[in-house]
Structure 1
């Protein structure tokens, strides 16, 4: 009697075969349409069950260890920032998406700081250019805690407002140092502005959040050089933004941020609305 072939979830199979390190990453690849399975038509879902010997083709391998790398990559390109030969502090490193992106753009060294432990991807942990600073809360970090001087700081934090850590960034960055941060409205807006599921949809809230963050940065000697939106949404589907600053202690730019902010918020919402409609149309075909 022929043995019955076993079936397994496609996201689990990707991990089992070693294509990716986690089911979360497998699910992102599947939902992005980057996984193809033989003799399977229609929309592939992470929960789709296939035979464990099914042939799998990956259309596009992730370039970075996490989605954060794609976000920072846009900032570097959009703002024309060149990390070559520079030493960075990556605040909120987590798995290391920002760190990975900096290294792929030839940063000299990255200090990967996070309040957690054991989160950094193994390939980065083994990289001699990466120095993990784990179980470290940035709010209680000082210049003497840095093993050596830095030229730039990247920030991707959750469950804390950037406004609480700008004074620390000011103390750590040298004059003319680079600052790049991911601005997440869901962690900047008041609780009454955050919908169920952690979503912040209203343009007015985004505008107020950006105004508050940019003004707070300026109060801490961070002079805005550019603002754009992240090319991919946050985990809850939130639109996020990227800001680029230089630390200038003896210069205070009194430029109003209103026009810049409104322009970026409008463009961000328009971009993701078009993207959502395209995905909807593809599903209906």
Structure 2
């Protein structure tokens, strides 16, 4: 499948919008297979190698900024950890993990040839392309992981959580991206796949929190992403810890109080993120 170069830049998190992608291309900073390209409308295979030179991004894609916020705010134990990046794409989250001291990262994605070259060459990265996380089992990894990030598209977060849960050590930590555009019903998603109605955001987040509470995970943090998705969707960061078998049967009352507190704060979070009243 082929797509316009400016569209590919946005999809890979190398540009915030098509307008900014066009500006990058026209400025001569975009290279396809090491050849400079100056036409935004040129069609390329969706797995072609693309490099943006002169970029001020600290990571290989904008996606790294999402995990960066989670690490700065919640300080999950990434340093020295064996990690898994679900929906790795270009590798922004993987890059962020490595820059924060990760020992090893399994970069998992259903696509192919998307992971940035510098990450492919890094001995701390295990690239698992053409891999659907829903079908990955403990037999596919030599060890369970300490930390997980999830940034998936065109599928509900709920559909990947069981597989991920089984690949995590007890007490492992996880940061998930909640994307309303892939959680809400079609009738609630507007033009260009953007969810603008605040009430829909609230419904989606509450549904995800309820689901995670039953998995079981301990909910440790909830915030909005510092950057928007490719089409301008507001997204949310959810920080959790996998409960061990022993933890699942203790402190139930305290767990319920914490979970309810997060549910009660969803409306305020959405209002802050969208700048609109729920």
TM-score, with length taken from structure 1: 0.75
Q: 1:199 to 1:247 in 2, by over 3 A?
A: same
Task: Say whether residues 1:132 and 2:127 are aligned partners.
Answer: yes
Could you list the runs of 5+ residues in structure 1 that have no partner in the other structure? 1-10, 13-19, 38-45, 49-56, 272-285
1:207–1:265 CA contact under 8 A, matched in 2 = yes
After TM superposition, list the pairs within 5 Å mapping 1:1-285 onto structure 2: 25=14, 31=20, 61-249=56-244, 250-251=247-248, 252=252, 253-254=255-256, 255-256=259-260, 257-270=262-275
From the CA coordinates, give the structure whose radius of gyration is larger. 1
1:169 CA drift (Å): 1.8
Could you list the runs of 5+ residues in structure 2 that have no partner in the other structure? 28-37, 41-52
Aligned length: 236
Q: 1:164 to 1:121 in 2, by over 3 A?
A: same
1:96–1:121 CA contact under 8 A, matched in 2 = yes
Q: CA offsets per residue over residues 228-284 of structure 1, 9 Å max, x none? A: 00011000100000000001143352231322211211111129xxxxxxxxxxxxx
1:82–1:105 CA contact under 8 A, matched in 2 = no
Task: Find the aligned partners of 2:185 and 2:12 in 1 and give their Cα distance.
Answer: 32
Q: CA offsets per residue over residues 72-123 of structure 1, 9 Å max, x none? A: 1001111122411001011000110100000011100000001111111100
Q: 1:27 to 1:238 in 2, by over 3 A?
A: closer
| Secondary structure in structure 2 of the residue aligned to 1:232 | coil
Q: 1:29 to 1:83 in 2, by over 3 A?
A: farther
| Secondary structure in structure 2 of the residue aligned to 1:171 | helix
Task: Find the aligned partners of 2:162 and 2:148 in 1 and give their Cα distance.
Answer: 13
Name which of structure 1's ranges 135-144 and 123-132 shifts more when overlaid on structure 2.
Answer: 135-144
